[in-house]
Amino acid sequence: MELISWNIQWGRGADGRVDLGRSIATMRGMAHADVLCLQEVTRGFGDLRGSPGDDQVAELAALLPGYRLLYAPGVDRFTGTGTPRQFGNLIATRLPVHEVFRHALPWPADPDVASMPRVALEATLQAGAQRLRVICTHLEYYSARQRAAQADALRDWHAQACDHALRPGRSESRPGPFTPEARPSEAVLCGDFNSKPDDIAYRRMTEPFDDGTQEWRDAWLHMHPGQAHAPTCAIYDKEQWPEPPFACDFMFVTQNLLDRIRRCEVNADTTDSDHQPILLSLDL
């Protein structure tokens, strides 16, 4: 199974031009991915830089025949005329989907900085004989307080999922919404964490659990031991990011998947966003 995670910045490249077709072509050049986890996909925010189209979910659906698209806006608003204005995460997959969760991340008040609502989109997929949870997320940039709360929530939801895997719920006497779907402990958590490796959110995600929950491991570091983390931001777009390149996009896997990793690479060549995409290959 091959998975790509990328903050596509609504398809806006370092040249300032919005082109979702170009973004898809870049990902196709990396792999014929089974799963795409994209952050910063918008509907109705045409006033963003580069003037994205009215409905990027529909645009991506047209560009990705054969994929099922799941969308979770963190920002979900309407104009005075009823037009939606949404901004969030999208999973596109060629694999069968069993169940979907849209987790609204904590957003504690932090009035001294700008911020927006954030979301984690989770799907239970069937990869061969293996069920796998894939979570695509995007944490707050400006507020360390909110990032820390969001990382804690991701950890809590993961612990709940692992508990469900160990202790499946009962069903009613007849099939219906009380009939549970199997929740695997095996999972991939990816996205833009807006957190350098020394930031609170990254450190919280990689802390051990004390109850037997499957721990998160950084797949890139696992495959490149002893190396500094490959940068995923500030390589080309120096207008937004004048600082030296750094890593803030990560691919975490549960420790029971570590021996299944075949490849984890950052595409450092593309200029199609202000972030770089990450490719994960798993032997499932």
Q: Residues near 265 by Cβ (< 8 Å), separated by ≥ 6? A: 220, 230, 278, 279
Neighbours of 122 (CB within 10 A): 25
245 contact partners, CB below 8 Å, separation of at least 6: 231, 233, 234, 235
Does residue 129 lie within any of the structural domains? yes
Task: Specify the DSSP class assigned to residue 28.
Answer: H
- pLDDT band at residue 212 using 50, 70 and 90 as cut-offs: confident
Mean pLDDT, residues 160-178 = 93
Q: pLDDT (tens digit, 9 = 90+) per residue, 48-106?
A: 999 999 999 999 999 999 999 999 999 999 999 999 999 999 999 999 999 999 999 99
- The answer as to whether 92 is a domain residue is yes
On whether residue 176 sits in a domain, the answer given is no
Residue 250 predicted with pLDDT over 90: yes
Q: Tell me how many domains the chain contains.
A: 1
Residue 145: the pLDDT is 97
Report field, pTM of the whole predicted structure over 0.75: yes
Residue 175 lies in a domain: no
- Domain assignment of residue 177, yes or no: no
Inside any domain, residue 251 = yes
Residue 206 has pLDDT above 90, yes or no: yes
Note the pLDDT of residue 173: 86
- Judged by DSSP in three states, 225 sits in coil
Would you state the pLDDT for residue 83? 93
pLDDT at 68: 98
Within a domain: 43: yes
DSSP-derived 3-state class of residue 183? coil
Question: In this structure, is the dihedral angle defined by the CA atoms of residues 232, 236, 240 and 246, taken in order, positive or negative?
Answer: positive
Percent of the chain surpassing pLDDT 70? 100
Integer Cα distance of 180 and 176 in angstroms: 9
Q: How far apart are CA 86 and CA 45, in angstroms?
A: 7
Residue 231: inside a domain, yes or no? yes
- Percent helix, percent strand, percent coil in the chain, to nearest 5: 20, 35, 45
Question: What's the CATH code of the domain at 189?
Answer: 3.60.10.10
Question: Reduced to 3 states, what is the DSSP secondary structure of residue 94?
Answer: coil
Q: Which domain holds residue 70?
A: 2-168+182-282
How far is Cα 137 from Cα 152, in angstroms, rounded to an integer? 13
The amino acid that residue 157 corresponds to is W
Are the beta carbons of 194 and 147 closer than 8 angstroms?
A: yes
Average pLDDT for residues 221-248, to the nearest whole number?
Answer: 97
